[in-house]
Amino acid sequence: MKELESFRVNPDLLKQFCAEVFEKLGLSDIQANITADQLVWADLMGIGSHGVTRIGIYARRIQAGLVNIKPDIKPVKETSSVAVLDGDNGLGQVVGVRAVELAIEKANKYGVGVVGVRNNNHFGCAGYYALKAIENDMVGIVMSNAPSTMAPWGARVPYLGTNPIAFGVPTKEFPPILLDMATSIVARGKIILSAKEGKAIPEGWAVDPEGEFTTDPELALKGAVLPFGGPKGSGIAIMIDILSGILSGAAFGPHIGSLYDDFSRPQDVGNFMIVFNISDFCPVDEFKERIEKMREEIKSLPRAKGVEEIMLPGEIEFRNYMENRRSGIALSPEVIKELKEVGESVSVKFSL
Amino acid sequence: MKELESFRVNPDLLKQFCAEVFEKLGLSDIQANITADQLVWADLMGIGSHGVTRIGIYARRIQAGLVNIKPDIKPVKETSSVAVLDGDNGLGQVVGVRAVELAIEKANKYGVGVVGVRNNNHFGCAGYYALKAIENDMVGIVMSNAPSTMAPWGARVPYLGTNPIAFGVPTKEFPPILLDMATSIVARGKIILSAKEGKAIPEGWAVDPEGEFTTDPELALKGAVLPFGGPKGSGIAIMIDILSGILSGAAFGPHIGSLYDDFSRPQDVGNFMIVFNISDFCPVDEFKERIEKMREEIKSLPRAKGVEEIMLPGEIEFRNYMENRRSGIALSPEVIKELKEVGESVSVKFSL
């Protein structure tokens, strides 16, 4: 088994495998490719918790009829700059890309585009959608609510999700600035991966069902993860739920269906995306010059003890991206086993 | 001196005193009243660090000719939903109120209003401007950058400000939801107040100029405060500076003039305000019903150890508000001394 631990696969072939699986599950060619691209992108960025390891659960939900493979995604409310998009219970990535494209279109015309999304499913890394804004020389903010796993400040049981927020900024030089974070101390996906790999989690990440700190990922998944930064992070997570869930007309708090544990109904996840067209604020070149100045200044600051290099948001992930494009994506034996199983269930052979 | 420690003043008389001081400093009646209202509101909310204790420094900067008392505040770039407002170096509160009013007007017409502000000064509590959105049945996000006092994650010297963000949500029942937070572990205003009152600060809030933790507020003010929530809070603070400073065309990072320490130039603070018109997303009544449901559910969750009541963002502050309206605002002897001095400098007697 030893050599399997560092097994690296070609990202393009991995994407092709994923797309084939999704097509066999009944998704259109376009939907399958969007979803495969988003998942492999997460693995390229080194965010394995949100990468191809999610294919298994997506497939099971599609096979159980809980995800609409032919969704009619359309705005149910719309002004020039704002839209509420009904995802029609489509796969999260498919709906997410449609939403950010609509926000970009509106930003292009009116300076800002805001799209709230209801009736969506788990859409993976929020950063992927913010990157679409970056690619259009725009600044993007992408939020999502998520199934209840996190205790609000002052409580000891879950109510909020680990509601992520991403913030993307185009730059003159590679890499762009891309903040992509859960509002929990740590992404719940990392606890799921630790559980799959049988590894303990650090103290302070989560409490067990009795409200006591635990290092056992299985108990943590049954208990509650905690918000980052105490009451402030809890407040940010509430903000994300109010915008993504309550304002967009999706479910919120504990009313969102669990991705893994609730096979009785669709998830009804909500998203909220805001895209700003830079050129309606200032010349794009000037903006990028100023960003480069900020980057150079921050990176050359005197460092805290034990810090080798000051990193801007997304910098580590884009380094992973370049390295993983070159050397392939390292998949654990557990994830490979998962991929083989899901492939077999739809007669697509995993042989990378 | 003992009785002075609990000296409570009538908020309306305090506001009148402040407005008179500002009028004597050359501000118009309207400008003076806006600024007085904003500062006294902060004291009513129990945020003394951002209340009337700031009048002294505002007055000194006006007297030194560093703030424009007759600003020509106008959009320098504008689309239907977006504007960049040049504050023309007016007093922060005056420019801030104009900015949020413009964002509200745009949101009313187009569903969302976004206003970036350049050439502004310290505008006090961000929550005050978000409250204006609330009063119009809108959801508001208000951000500002601030003079460099906070070390980005990985650095040991200041670069960022304690860049605050406020998020306001109208509700069916009092109080509204109002998150209003600095992105530092603690608002620098609290360290300033501790220094004025000669009190030690808790370990972990700040580092001294050598990068070591300190409990001495004077050393902390010379060193750096730290972002809340480690790299995530640091990322949020960078996001706020990019939107408020770089995108809006204001100064950013260490290029913002210090309120207290730099009398050689205006501050050039930047703000960024986003206002969402609820009725363009969903019926306002429905929105408010759902918010009440969330509030009731969160408040009735099992509590963490040592927690008497789970509080939503702004709940403590609005309780302070009601109590301080009833009983008067408690001012420390140091703040009263300050007010007397600034009053004397413009021949307005402090006799509350």
Q: What is the pLDDT of residue A5?
A: 57
Q: What is the pLDDT of residue B2?
A: 44
Q: What is the pLDDT of residue B157?
A: 93
A80 and B82 within 8 Å at the Cβ level: the answer is no
Query: Binning pLDDT at 50, 70 and 90, where does residue B125 land?
Result: very high
Asked if the model's pLDDT at residue B129 lies above 60, the reply is: yes
Interface check for A219 against chain B (CB to CB < 8 A): the answer is no
Q: What is the pLDDT of residue B3?
A: 46
Average pLDDT of the segment spanning B131-141: 98
- Reported as a single tens digit per residue, the pLDDT across B156-169 is 999 999 999 999 99
Task: State CA A56 to chain mean position distance.
Answer: 16
Q: What is the pLDDT of residue A4?
A: 47
Q: Which residue of B has its CA nearest to A183?
A: B232
Using CB atoms, pick whichever of B114, B287, B298 lies closest to residue A152.
Answer: B298
Inter-chain contacts counted by CB atoms under 8 A, chains A and B: 231
Q: Other CB atoms closer than 10 Å to residue B300's CB: what's the count?
A: 10
3-class secondary structure, B321:
helix
Q: What is the pLDDT of residue A6?
A: 57
Q: Which of A133-142, A218-227, B115-124, B236-245 has the lowest mean pLDDT?
A: A218-227
**Which residues in B lie closer than 8 A to residue A284 (C-beta atoms)?**
none
Q: What is the mean pLDDT of chain B?
A: 95
What domains can be seen in chain A, in order of their start residue? 1-65+314-352 (1.10.1530.10), 72-184+227-300 (3.30.1370.60)
**Which residues in B lie closer than 8 A to residue A181 (C-beta atoms)?**
232, 235
Average pLDDT of the segment spanning B167-193: 93
Q: What is the pLDDT of residue B7?
A: 86
Average pLDDT of the segment spanning B14-30: 98
**Which residues in B lie closer than 8 A to residue A312 (C-beta atoms)?**
238
Q: What is the pLDDT of residue B210?
A: 80
Interface check for B76 against chain A (CB to CB < 8 A): the answer is no
DSSP letter (8 states) at residue A184: B
A239 and B294 within 8 Å at the Cβ level: the answer is no
**Which residues in B lie closer than 8 A to residue A84 (C-beta atoms)?**
281-282
DSSP letter (8 states) at residue B246: I
Q: Which two tokens stand for residue B220?
A: 């902390």
Q: Other CB atoms closer than 10 Å to residue A308's CB: what's the count?
A: 7
A310 and B155 within 8 Å at the Cβ level: the answer is yes
Interface check for A282 against chain B (CB to CB < 8 A): the answer is yes
Q: Which of B201-215, B293-307, B311-325 has the lowest mean pLDDT?
A: B201-215
- Reported as a single tens digit per residue, the pLDDT across B256-303 is 999 999 999 999 999 999 999 999 999 999 999 999 999 999 999 999
pLDDT tens track, chain A, 352 positions? 344 455 899 999 999 999 999 999 999 999 999 999 999 999 999 999 899 999 999 999 999 999 999 999 999 999 999 999 999 999 999 999 999 999 999 999 999 999 999 999 999 999 999 999 999 999 999 999 999 999 999 999 999 999 999 999 999 999 999 999 999 998 787 898 899 889 999 988 888 888 888 999 999 988 899 999 999 999 999 999 999 999 999 999 999 999 999 999 999 999 999 999 999 999 999 999 999 999 999 999 999 888 999 999 999 999 999 999 999 999 999 999 999 999 999 999 998 8
Q: Other CB atoms closer than 10 Å to residue A235's CB: what's the count?
A: 25
A232 and B229 within 8 Å at the Cβ level: the answer is yes
The residue type found at A74 is: K
Give the integer Cα–Cα distance in Å for B172 and B285. 8
B239 and A179 within 8 Å at the Cβ level: the answer is yes
Interface check for A75 against chain B (CB to CB < 8 A): the answer is no
Give the integer Cα–Cα distance in Å for A219 and A210. 10
Q: What is the pLDDT of residue A2?
A: 44
Q: Which residue of A has its CA nearest to B141?
A: A239
With a CB cutoff of 8 Å and minimum separation 6, the contacts of B349 are B343
Q: What is the pLDDT of residue B187?
A: 77
The residue type found at B262 is: D
Q: What is the pLDDT of residue B6?
A: 57
**Which residues in B lie closer than 8 A to residue A151 (C-beta atoms)?**
301, 304
Q: What separation in angstroms does the CA of A214 have from each of A163, A202, A208, A219, A308?
A: 22, 8, 6, 7, 31
Give the integer Cα–Cα distance in Å for A248 and A243. 6
Strand partners, B180: B166
Q: Which of A219-233, B74-88, B244-258 has the lowest mean pLDDT?
A: A219-233
Interface check for A112 against chain B (CB to CB < 8 A): the answer is yes
User: How far apart are the CA of B263 and the nearest CA of chain A, in angstroms?
Assistant: 24
Burial B197-227 (b: 16+ CB within 10 A, else e): eeeebeeebbbbeebeebbbbebbbebbbbb
Interface check for A250 against chain B (CB to CB < 8 A): the answer is no
Q: Which of B159-173, B208-222, B296-310 has the lowest mean pLDDT?
A: B208-222
A276 and B82 within 8 Å at the Cβ level: the answer is yes
Of A80, A239, A97, A81, the residue nearest A164 (C-alpha): A239
- Picking from B268, B285, B298, B308 by the largest number of A CB atoms within 10 A of its own CB, the best residue to mutate is B298
B232 and A232 within 8 Å at the Cβ level: the answer is no
Q: What is the pLDDT of residue A204?
A: 82
DSSP letter (8 states) at residue A28: -
Give the integer Cα–Cα distance in Å for B234 and A204. 20
Pairing of β B82-86 and β B112-120: parallel
- Residue appearing with tokens 């993860």: A225
Q: Which residue of A has its CA nearest to B178?
A: A235
Interface check for B30 against chain A (CB to CB < 8 A): the answer is no
Counted residue by residue, chain A has a size of: 352
